[in-house]
Chains A and B, each alone.
Chain A
Amino acid sequence: MRFKTSIRNVSTFIKLTSCLVSIGKIAWLRLDEEEIRFTLMPDQGVQVFANLAIQTLFDSYIITSANSNIINLEVPLSALHRALRSCASASDATLRLTKRASDNTPILCLTVTTTTNTLVTQEIPVRVLSAASVANIKEPTCPEPDVHIILPALHTLRAVVERFNKLDASRIAIAANMNGEFKMRLDGNDSVKVESIWTGLTNPLLDPEQVPGGVENHPSTTREKAAFAWVRVDGKEWGRVLKVGGISRRVVACFCEDHALVLYVYLTDEEDEHSAVLTYYLSSFVI
């Protein structure tokens, strides 16, 4: 089993880990010859699946293993994030999987050459997971979304969510329709009810090749354009999810009414060669 790479894009990697660390403590990192995949499935709350082309983060990437050159690791996110942060200004950084000499613990070893040519090495203890132990981890299956919409700039959304949370950090109802409208509502508070609505947003077109039943039969097409699909989420958690605005180029929100909100967070531009997408699953609370 061998994994060694140089980090091509430290700042993107740091932004990624900072988003992940606000959602959970531990991630499953799956590395193979094509992709880097981070999976966060805390016992409750938001689940995150990040699929990144290798070139998004890495360069000179070498991976070999007895399991078809796939390596599965359990990584403590805050340790990884801290280590990466310290090499933000590095001229060169490499990451490799090795064993600590003293006790044979597997570690991710981050070696950084600073601008003053000093070599700094940081060890992130990890757990190597067997193929069997991760075989059952899958992205949740959701019904076809009722509404899909491109969210407004996440930092403005987050600014509003923070105000909502100051009023009452409990549940926020979120809705969108196929008429380019998105709204958030805070109720259940005795002294104030608040609703913010964004208009003029884009409902992206579905790609016919990805809709087996035909676009014309898709729930989002058959639905009345102005009808809002609602989900209810935890306000604090929603605020943490929106931190991803710091790195996202574009976010598509899919509303499965009363069931779940799925966010596809694109870290790269459409025309970019290498794609990087984070998928966030938020289950809706029952009213």
Chain B
Amino acid sequence: MSETQDQAPPPLFTALTTSSRQILTLLKCIGFQSKAQLQISADGLRVTVEDSHVMQGHAFIDKNLFNTYSFNPLPFEPDEDPVVQFGISLTALLECLQIFGGPEAGGGGKWRGGGGGGGGDGWSGGTAGVSAFDHGLLRIAGTCRFLYEEGGPLCLILEEPPITTTCELTTYTPTPLPDIPLSPTLTRKIILKSSLLHDAITELSSSTSSTLPSSSSLLVITTSPHPPSFTLSSTSPLGTTTVEFTDDRDLLETFQVNLRTKDVYRFDLVRHARGAMAVASKVSVRSDEAGVLSLQFMVEWEGRASFVDFRFLGVDDGEGGGGSDGDGDGSYGEEAGDGDSE
């Protein structure tokens, strides 16, 4: 819009969106942690949270969710993609994105500025008539502008006439958070409707208990080229629940498994992805030989896809498979939002 009006150099990052609801939905998917790392690049915003060093959640807010998007980094190393990263309170960011006021009440036009005075202090007739072009009646969507200057706060300017809200989110020194790497040699790749996974995880939750330590429940994923093809079980001191999927194209859009493989994960951590399971249209379930699990969710609006990716390290269950050789060095680069679940 008006970034170029001033003669001053353009801000490091500024972007304007009328899709703040979509951005909010994506960020809510990883809203299980209060602090997040935010990375700005030429392609969009990448927001990362982690839990216990064994799981990460990445929400990728593509620049196509913005009406204008301008990132003006200082010159970087020539062969490096310029990025800016900082820590931020995700809780505060989520609340700020929801600050837009509620719907205006109709009939407000009756409130003219006049007397009626029982409470003393009379006001002689003013003129507060609300015009026919009341924004509340027209439901003009609000805009949200992001603004960031090196070292400063991340500013969100929400405009929904006649209200303008400015939020200054404190930015923190970035915490290095190497991505949990997923090797290109996959042991399974399954694409299914996200709601199916959501239902399965909800079903499996019934055998876990809130009175037991949450980390005592495990999720076992078994895949095999022969039926049952794809099995999810939750095990806890209370018992085991199993959900089986058959390799049916109506059920599993993609099913690529060569060998029978079994991996074990902490159930409570997988449950962090339930918000994403609920809003996404599809999910790509992938694992590699080291037992790293990736759940990549595709969230769609009006034909535009956005991605939220969760990575989990496996739990060593003493039966081999599902190694947890942690400490990824990030050398595989990031894959969130690479769109390979199409």
Binding site for B on A (CB under 8 A): 49, 51-53, 148, 150, 152-153, 155-157, 159-160, 163, 166-167, 189-210, 249-250, 252, 254, 264, 266, 268-270, 272, 275-279
Contact = CB atoms under 8 A, between A and B. Distances in A.
7 contacts: A51-B119, A150-B113, A155-B105, A264-B121, A269-B110, A270-B114, A276-B118
Contacts of B170: 190-192
B125 A156 contact: no
A198 B161 CA distance: 8
Contact of B95 (A49, A53, A163, A279): A163
B101 A159 contact: yes
Contacts, number: 139
A268 B96 CA distance: 35
A249 B110 contact: yes
B163 A279 contact: no
Contact of A156 (B89, B102, B117, B167): B102
B162 A207 contact: no
A205 B126 contact: yes
A19 to B, nearest CB: 15
A143 to B, nearest CB: 13
Given A166-B95, A192-B89, A153 B104 contact: yes
A203 B288 CA distance: 66
A275 B113 contact: no
Q: How many B residues are at the interface, by size bracket? A: 35 or more
What is the predominant secondary structure among interface residues of chain A facing chain B? mixed
B206 interface: no
B116 A275 contact: yes
Contact of B118 (A52, A153, A206): A52
Contact of A192 (B92, B103, B110, B114): B92
Given A194-B167, A198-B163, A210-B121, A160 B99 contact: yes
Contact of B116 (A200, A254, A268): A268
Contacts of A194: 96, 99, 165-168
B116 A210 contact: no
Contacts of B91: 191
B115 A207 contact: yes
